[in-house]
Amino acid sequence: MFGFKNQASTSNPSLAALGIAERSAEKSYASLIATGWTEIGFGYHGTVHAHLDHPNVVVRFARKADGFGDYAALLRKGFAGSDGPHAPRVHDLYVSPCGALMTVGSRLTTPTRDVWWLAYAHAVIADHPGFEMDEGVRDRFKAQWPAHEPFVDHASFDGIREDFRAAWPDYEAYVATLRVVSPRGLDPNVGNVLVGRDGSPVVNDPLCDDGFGLWRSPLSRLLARCLDALRRTVGEALGRTPVAA
């Protein structure tokens, strides 16, 4: 389903097939804009781009490899539901030597605010025993859906819950499995659920912003952890420990 190597296929387009050669953190954004890849969305680390000549795909660019890279790696490895309608399709992924992340994925759409199931779809991602939602996320949730508390079992979801489960019975199972296989908790931020071509909810970017490195090999991750530990040890030996505020 994924291609970490170039794939020159119209049904599974790669960065190379789309003519995207510049992939560095410093120059990729300007190169995408200059070659007609208009910015249609943005997040903490990255931007999403669309092209009139390629209406069915988007290119996502992040100046640092983030949680979306982890999500892509998990999907590539495969787990229950990862090939279903609630997982995004990522056709190609590239991480530059300096850590910039570029992906090619099928184009999804942003649901309208008044879609009846949207609040519940986000609440499924947010709900977890012992989980405390960040106040900023909670405020954005309430601003979007003032009638619904961001917890799945709240009485305000009566009716919506049952209709949602009847329409998409595998959605909650997909989120539950994703929660188990992800290295950290899921990100319930508003905007992480989009709509697929068939109208179903797609969990688009559910992991935390700081990448865990799942796109790397196990050996590469081990070496990175060892280097980080070595840097900390050397810093402490040189008296460069953090000063308490």
Write the CATH number for 51.
Answer: 3.30.200.20
Please check whether residue 241 lies inside any domain of the structure: no
Higher pLDDT, 208 or 220: 208
- What pLDDT, on the 0 to 100 scale, is given for residue 133? 77
Structure confidence at residue 92 as a pLDDT band (50, 70, 90): very high
Decide: 215 and 224 in contact? Cβ < 8 Å.
no
* pLDDT tops 60 at residue 47: yes
Q: Which of 77, 107, 137 is the last residue before a domain boundary? A: 107
CA distances from 153 to 15, 105, 125, 161, 211 (A): 43, 33, 13, 9, 31
For the segment 9-22, the average pLDDT, to the nearest whole number, is 82
Domains: count for the chain: 2
CA distance 118 to 204: 13
For the segment 10-31, the average pLDDT, to the nearest whole number, is 89
The answer for 216, left when phi > 0, alpha when psi is -120 to 50, beta otherwise, is beta
- What pLDDT, on the 0 to 100 scale, is given for residue 156? 84
- What pLDDT, on the 0 to 100 scale, is given for residue 216? 67
Same domain, 91 and 171: no
For the segment 86-103, the average pLDDT, to the nearest whole number, is 90
- Residues with Cβ within 8 Å of residue 27, at least 6 apart in sequence: none
Higher pLDDT, 37 or 231: 37
For the segment 184-192, the average pLDDT, to the nearest whole number, is 82
Q: DSSP string of 39-84?
A: EEEE-SSEEEEEETTEEEEEEEEESS-BHHHHHHHHHHH--TTTTS
* pLDDT tops 60 at residue 5: no
Please check whether residue 245 lies inside any domain of the structure: no
Structure confidence at residue 141 as a pLDDT band (50, 70, 90): confident
- What pLDDT, on the 0 to 100 scale, is given for residue 155? 84
Please check whether residue 127 lies inside any domain of the structure: no
For the segment 86-102, the average pLDDT, to the nearest whole number, is 90
CA distance 105 to 82: 14
- What pLDDT, on the 0 to 100 scale, is given for residue 4? 33
Name the β-bridge partners of 182.
none
- What pLDDT, on the 0 to 100 scale, is given for residue 10? 44
* pLDDT tops 60 at residue 54: yes
Q: Which of 79, 107, 135 is the last residue before a domain boundary? A: 107
Please check whether residue 122 lies inside any domain of the structure: no
Q: Which domain holds residue 208?
A: 160-188+203-231
Instruction: Please tell me whether residue 200 adopts helix, strand or coil conformation.
Output: coil
Element (H, E) at 220: helix 218-237
